[in-house]
């Protein structure tokens, strides 16, 4: 493992440890709620959103520990959103990351409460972060609320459910995919840049990078759902009958769109005069690994 | 209507108007989500938690407009919690405030997303409030997260579901009732005091007032569920078979406990040298009106 890979693994391990500290202990009451929150949050994962925060912070000169709690807040929001997406009244999924989804392992009510508890805890973690100024904490909290809310993640999930089965234009699909995946990646990456005191232009560039990345991820998920390998650890074929980039553009068209978004992501970073750190290589290596596994 | 009553009605109307402004417009996309959020939040209500914030602020010399947005944030959290409590996998309620519960009027997925959207919006409203310093906004956000989270509202609902049907000691019941009702009232009232720059001792006194009030409210709800009138606008008899203060202490014992909590609430205010404003009279008048209606 070279130095960069070792550094990245250190960051991931730091996120893992800090997440465990920031989540209610199993011994706490009510125990079942705490267990469900830990189950959903601490299951093995790439910790992709926290890594975006940490590597974006480093890109502008802030060492990872400074951005660690904010990074963890984004993973909490992500875990919360996955719990809801999997619910019987939404995607009705049985498997996630190779294990039972939270409502299957516990029950629906406990899963919903764990999700709300994790989203809510993310704001507490931001507010309690002693390394950041109140003005910065307020700004991160405001941006997180924008990313999650009625124009962000929550809206994306609602659009996905509302329009299911209907035809979707490529523009509609892009908005849907951005809200379902991109907004939180943008907020996570920009949080790192903001914590490091990056310029407005640089924050915009990092945001554009993450926006394109989110679109690439969503298309990649759609491709895997149709053509994918067996070890994704989640239910496949869930999108049958739904309009996705694959159903609209075909498999080859989707692959071309994916490459286009990755190219635009790189250009977003470079255009803003950033991207000399580990952010771009980390993300691109992740994509290569995903493609190789499929 | 005397001057105080007119002032209180003005505050309530101001909350009503501001809530409508702070919630996504019906014309916004996805429309069904926005409609569900508005349905749940803007249905007629006493706006009790926002009134606690506004009247506590005034008790210490801050005029209501200064605390208006923070007050609205608490109503958003309250509305979010009611949506979840009513879900089929929780209390499975059909009626709330005399109308269909949100999942009955829309659907389960939309109701859950509206709830999460409203909770999340509360943090956005706090972060965006231009009248408050970043340090104060951070403190309010931190306290809100405590009140909602794994030791607050969310924990209360989980405890309620976990322990249903089991015997409960009076101490267990008090913790449950505090988490289900009191914690958010405490946070709402203390927010008003903090916005007005009240002393630590005064903030504690207002908190003790609201804590006792929350217990009184929960007991009153339990009494109404058994002995209650017809125009509560919600399902009755939902608690049958559950341990409540009424099942543990009997109807007369519960009524005595209620009076004891109201007395302690008044003493909490007076002991901290506050309570010369409208906070106590407003709350006690509300209780009298509720008792008269039952």
List, as ranges, residues 226-255 from A with C-beta within 8 Å of B.
Answer: none
Does the beta carbon of A172 lie under 8 angstroms from any beta carbon of chain B?
no
Rg from Cα positions in chain B: 18
Per-residue pLDDT, averaged over A57-80, amounts to 96
Maximum C-alpha span of chain A: 52
Handedness of CA A68, A73, A78, A79 (dihedral sign): positive
| Residues listed for chain A | 294
- Collapsing DSSP to helix, strand or coil, B99 comes out as strand
Task: Give phi and psi for B148, each to the nearest 5.
Answer: -85, -30
Contact A29 B155 (CB under 8 A): yes
pTM: 0.94
For helices B64-86 and B3-22, the axis angle rounded to 10 degrees is: 60
User: ipTM above 0.85?
Assistant: yes
- Expressed in angstroms, the distance from the first to the final Cα of chain A is 23
Residue percentage of chain B with pLDDT more than 90: 63
Which letter does DSSP use for residue B178 in this model? I
What is residue A1's predicted lDDT score, i.e. its pLDDT? 58
B235, burial (CB in 10 Å: exposed 0-12, middle 13-18, buried 19+): middle
* Residue B86, min C-alpha distance to chain A (Å): 11
Residue found by looking up tokens 């101490």 in the block: B171
The predicted-structure confidence for B64-88, as pLDDT tens digits, reads as follows 999 999 999 999 999 999 999 999 9
The predicted-structure confidence for A98-143, as pLDDT tens digits, reads as follows 899 999 999 999 999 999 999 999 999 999 999 999 999 999 999 9
Contact B84 A133 (CB under 8 A): no
Cis bond leading into A30, ω under 30°? yes
* Residue B92, min C-alpha distance to chain A (Å): 11
The predicted-structure confidence for A228-244, as pLDDT tens digits, reads as follows 654 556 666 666 667 78
Which of A32, A150, A153, A175 to substitute to test the interface with B, most B CBs within 10 Å?
A150
Q: Spell out a b/e string for B14-36, using b for 16 or more CB atoms within 10 Å of the CB, else e.
A: bbbebbeebbbeeeebbebbbbb
Question: Looking at the DSSP assignment, which residues form a beta bridge with residue B96?
Answer: B99
From chain A, pick out residues whose CB is under 8 angstroms from the CB of B93.
none
What is d(CA A47, CA A44) in angstroms, rounded to the nearest whole number? Answer: 9
Full set of structural domains in chain B with CATH = 3-293 (1.10.600.10)
The predicted-structure confidence for B251-291, as pLDDT tens digits, reads as follows 899 999 999 999 998 888 887 777 678 988 898 888 888 77
For B137, the closest of A89, A115, A138 (CB atoms) is A138
Cβ distance A282 to A52 under 8 Å? Answer: no
Has residue A257 got a pLDDT over 50? yes
Residue of A nearest to B143 (CA): A124
């Amino acid at each position: 493992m070279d130095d960069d890979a070792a550094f990245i693994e250190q960051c991931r391990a730091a996120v893992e440890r800090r997440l465990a500290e920031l989540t209610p202990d199993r011994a706490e009451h009510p125990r079942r709620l705490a267990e469900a929150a830990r189950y959903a949050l601490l299951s093995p994962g790439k910790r992709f959103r926290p890594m975006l925060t940490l590597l974006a912070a480093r890109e502008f000169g802030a060492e990872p520990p400074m951005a660690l709690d904010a990074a963890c807040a984004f993973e909490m929001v992500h875990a919360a959103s996955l719990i809801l997406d999997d619910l019987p009244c939404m995607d009705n999924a049985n498997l996630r990351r190779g294990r039972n989804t939270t409502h299957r392992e516990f029950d629906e009510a406990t899963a919903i409460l764990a999700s709300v508890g994790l989203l809510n805890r993310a704001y507490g973690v931001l507010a309690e972060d002693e390394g950041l100024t109140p003005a910065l904490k307020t700004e991160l909290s405001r941006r997180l609320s924008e990313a999650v809310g009625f124009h962000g993640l929550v809206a994306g999930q609602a659009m996905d459910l509302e329009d299911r089965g209907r035809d979707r234009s490529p523009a509609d699909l892009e908005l849907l995919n951005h809200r379902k995946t991109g907004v939180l990646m943008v907020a996570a990456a920009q949080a790192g840049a903001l914590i490091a005191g990056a310029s407005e232009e640089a924050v915009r560039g990092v945001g554009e990078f993450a926006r394109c990345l989110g679109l690439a991820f969503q298309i990649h998920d759609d491709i895997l759902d149709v053509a994918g390998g067996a070890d994704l650890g989640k239910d496949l074929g869930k999108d049958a009958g739904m309009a996705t980039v694959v159903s609209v553009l075909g498999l080859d068209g989707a692959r071309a769109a994916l490459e286009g978004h990755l190219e635009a992501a790189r250009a977003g970073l470079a255009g803003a005069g950033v991207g000399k750190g580990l952010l771009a290589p980390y993300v691109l290596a992740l994509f290569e690994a995903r493609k190789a596994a499929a």
